[in-house]
Copies of this chain bind each other. A is one copy, B any other.
């Protein structure tokens, strides 16, 4: 580990994959540490969900803890003392995934059965609750490197973000029964559901690095914009993504009538006849594959992909300007821009 640190400290990673890879092992260690005192079967469910149950199993990109640790380093502080906070961010994200999978009835995540589909809904609820609880408990490991005051501040940042994330989940679920969602409502929903925890990830890094209020404020905003960029790209992949890369069927979000940005944008910009056709299709209880094709055609005609891409580009531009405005060191600034570019272009 020390060798690796010495090496990576002197090199600027030029791909997002290299940046994510640099922190992968430490984050996995942080997650294992958060669970290590617990041996009950409850924690086996958590290890399974996190992919810690078998070597080489994929626990996801770990974007949130990576951002937190990267911000620490880019502001000139070693990431090691902040690892428990980074692990807590990942635990909170994964608690929400375990419960989301129940709420959405999803059977698979990361190419494996979801917790609830393996152990049942009651145990799935319990596993999510345990994960959330451990996320909070784990913050105690910030001591003694950090003061109790910092621990309380991190606790507040993380839980305020979690509260917003839960609000966002509420809004997202309430959209299911709405035929049409205004763009502003959609953007507010993703700011809560996705933006809040990414904001907390970046801001926690700044807090742990002892940044002043101006930097804290810019980091907050940077995290919010990253959240918007991340979710817009996610929505694009849900409609125009490649099955082999995303693990989802083409047009998956159309088939399940998800009120993601493409349909929101389409209804806001369609001419009257296309709009009427889209609404007729979305009024149906269930959609056929032919419906999905028809919706895709209408999206092309309305120019939905270009409009959604414009919004992603705007977020990308704002994020890039923010990176330049924060006093990251050279390596940090360069790597942050690499990550921002990745979020605009990623295909999975």
Contacts and interface: CB of A to CB of B under 8 A. Distances in A.
Given A148-B152, A149-B148, A151-B152, A166 B123 contact: no
A24 interface: no
A163 B133 contact: yes
Contact of A152 (B38, B126, B133, B140): B140
B151 A137 contact: no
Contacts of A230: none
Nearest to A129: B166
Interface in A36-63: 38, 40-42
Copies in the complex: 2
Interface in A96-145: 99, 102-103, 121-123, 125-126, 128-130, 132-134, 136-137, 139-140, 143
A38 to B, nearest CB: 8
Nearest to A149: B148
A159 B173 contact: no
Most buried by B among A125, A128, A140: A125
Contact of A163 (B137, B140, B149, B169): B137
A174 B42 CA distance: 11
Contacts of A156: 137, 140
A166 B42 CA distance: 9
A125 B123 contact: no
Given A137-B160, A137-B163, A126 B151 contact: no
B122 A163 contact: no
Contacts of A128: 125, 129
A169 B41 CA distance: 12
A151 B125 CA distance: 28
A130 B160 CA distance: 11
Given A137-B159, A148-B149, A155-B136, A129 B99 contact: yes
Please report whether the interface of chain A is mostly helix, strand, loop or mixed according to DSSP.
Answer: helix
A130 B40 contact: no
Question: Which of A102, A128, A133, A155 counts the most B-chain CB atoms under 10 A from its CB?
Answer: A133
B136 A122 contact: no
A147 interface: yes
A230 to B, nearest CB: 21
A155 B128 CA distance: 19
A100 B7 CA distance: 50
A159 B129 CA distance: 11
A162 interface: yes
Contacts of A123: 170, 173
Contact of A42 (B102, B134, B167): B167
A126 B121 CA distance: 14
A327 B136 CA distance: 33
A79 to B, nearest CB: 22
Given A40-B170, A42-B166, A99-B126, 19 more contacts: A38-B163, A121-B121, A122-B173, A123-B170, A129-B132, A130-B163, A130-B166, A130-B167, A133-B163, A133-B166, A136-B136, A136-B159, A137-B159, A137-B163, A139-B155, A143-B152, A148-B149, A151-B152, A152-B155
